[in-house]
């Protein structure tokens, strides 16, 4: 001991009591096993981070590990924000893309137009398709040209990976039917802003389900209207055109 001299007797007695209460012996086996497991995890973690990489290189991140976790949390939070922003943008884009069909849902479309008009400037449904892209002076007649908005976003292959349909195909109905059955995954594709951004269509009813598709070699959308009775109307739009290039009636799902 280092402090044995000049200590008050009471303190010296306490010091002896403390020395007598010292613990000797190894940790309990369960603690040893726990430490061994933790150490093995640390070694494996380090090995996975970089086999043979000196720990000195880890030093910056070792105190560090906490910092890594924090940055990971921040990344996750950023991804969450990005995902939320994507949902918002997708909602805006869908509002732009939905073909305006005054026939079906006049009430809902009026509400929709009131709210969406401030977000985008879709061509008037009443106007001809040729007028739909007058804001950019684009040639709407050549629907193979990407819509003006899409020129700002992403480059080529806007509808890569989406189903290809031909309006003159004899079994188009069956293909669309299959598309409807596969609607959920297609809707995920629809969420791709890369595809939506290139499809400039008038507003449509909000009750429709949309599936991105390639129509006769052009980017387009398949719009599944809300079933009425035992029937469901399906409209096939080519991006940039106000009117559907084909309308199909399917049995309601």
Partner 1 sequence: MSSGPTGDERSDKVLLQAHVDGDTDAFGVLFARHRDRLWAVALRTMGNPEDAADGLQDGMIAAFRRAGSFRGDAAVTTWLHRVVVNACLDRLRAAKIRRLEPMPDDVEDRGTVVATAVHDDQPEAVAEDAERRRRVLDALATLPAEQRAALVLVDMEGYPVAEVAEMLGCAEGTVKSRCSRGRTRLAALLADLHHPAGDPPHGNPPPEGPVQPTGRPRGPPAP
Cβ-based neighbours of 26, under 8 Å, separated by 6 or more: 32
The alpha carbon torsion through 142, 144, 148, 151 (nearest 10 deg) reads -150
The least distance separating partner 1 from the CB of residue 97, rounded to whole angstroms, comes to 51
DSSP state of 228: B
Cβ closer to partner 1: 65 or 73?
65
Cβ closer to partner 1: 42 or 85?
42
Binding to partner 1 by residue 39, rule CB under 8 A?
yes
Binding to partner 1 by residue 25, rule CB under 8 A?
yes
Cβ closer to partner 1: 12 or 145?
12
CA distances from residue 69 to 37, 58, 72, 75, 76 in whole angstroms, order as listed: 21, 14, 5, 10, 10
Q: Tokens 């594709």 — which residue?
A: 189
Stretch that binds partner 1, among 15-23, 75-83, 86-94, 140-148 (CB under 8 A): 15-23
The least distance separating partner 1 from the CB of residue 15, rounded to whole angstroms, comes to 5
The least distance separating partner 1 from the CB of residue 77, rounded to whole angstroms, comes to 24
Cβ closer to partner 1: 26 or 103?
26
The least distance separating partner 1 from the CB of residue 72, rounded to whole angstroms, comes to 16
Cβ closer to partner 1: 55 or 114?
55
- The H-or-E segment that residue 17 falls in is helix 9-20
Residue 106 — φ and ψ, nearest 5°? -65, -40
Six-digit token string for 64: 């560090």
Site string for partner 1, 61-90 (x = CB under 8 A): -xxxx-------------------------
Quickly count: other Cβ atoms within 10 Å of residue 177's Cβ.
17
What's the sign of the alpha-carbon dihedral 113, 114, 116, 120? positive
Question: What is the binding site for partner 1 (CB under 8 A)?
Answer: 1-3, 8-28, 31-32, 34-35, 38-39, 42-43, 46-47, 52-56, 58-59, 62-65
């Amino acid at each position: 001991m280092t402090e044995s001299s000049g200590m008050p007797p009471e303190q010296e007695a306490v010091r002896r009591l403390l020395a007598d209460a010292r613990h000797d012996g190894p940790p309990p086996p369960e603690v040893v096993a726990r430490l061994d497991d933790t150490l093995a995890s640390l070694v494996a973690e380090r090995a996975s981070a970089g086999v043979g990489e000196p720990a000195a290189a880890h030093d910056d991140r070792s105190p560090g590990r906490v910092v890594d976790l924090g940055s990971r949390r921040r990344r996750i939070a950023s991804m969450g924000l990005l995902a939320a922003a994507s949902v918002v943008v997708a909602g805006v884009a869908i509002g732009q893309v939905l073909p305006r069909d005054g026939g079906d849902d006049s009430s809902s479309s009026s509400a929709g137009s009131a709210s969406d008009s401030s977000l985008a400037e879709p061509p008037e449904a009443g106007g001809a398709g040729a007028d739909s892209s007058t804001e950019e002076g684009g040639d709407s007649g050549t629907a193979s040209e990407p819509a003006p908005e899409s020129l700002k976003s992403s480059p080529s292959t806007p509808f890569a990976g989406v189903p290809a349909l031909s309006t003159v195909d004899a079994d188009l109905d069956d293909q669309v039917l299959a598309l409807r059955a596969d609607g959920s995954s297609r809707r995920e594709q629809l969420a791709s802003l890369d595809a939506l951004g290139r499809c400039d269509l008038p507003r449509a009813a909000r009750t429709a389900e949309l599936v991105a598709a390639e129509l006769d070699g052009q980017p387009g959308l398949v719009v599944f209207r809300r079933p009425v009775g035992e029937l469901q109307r399906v409209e096939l739009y080519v991006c940039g055109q106000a009117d559907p290039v084909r309308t199909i009636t399917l049995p309601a799902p």
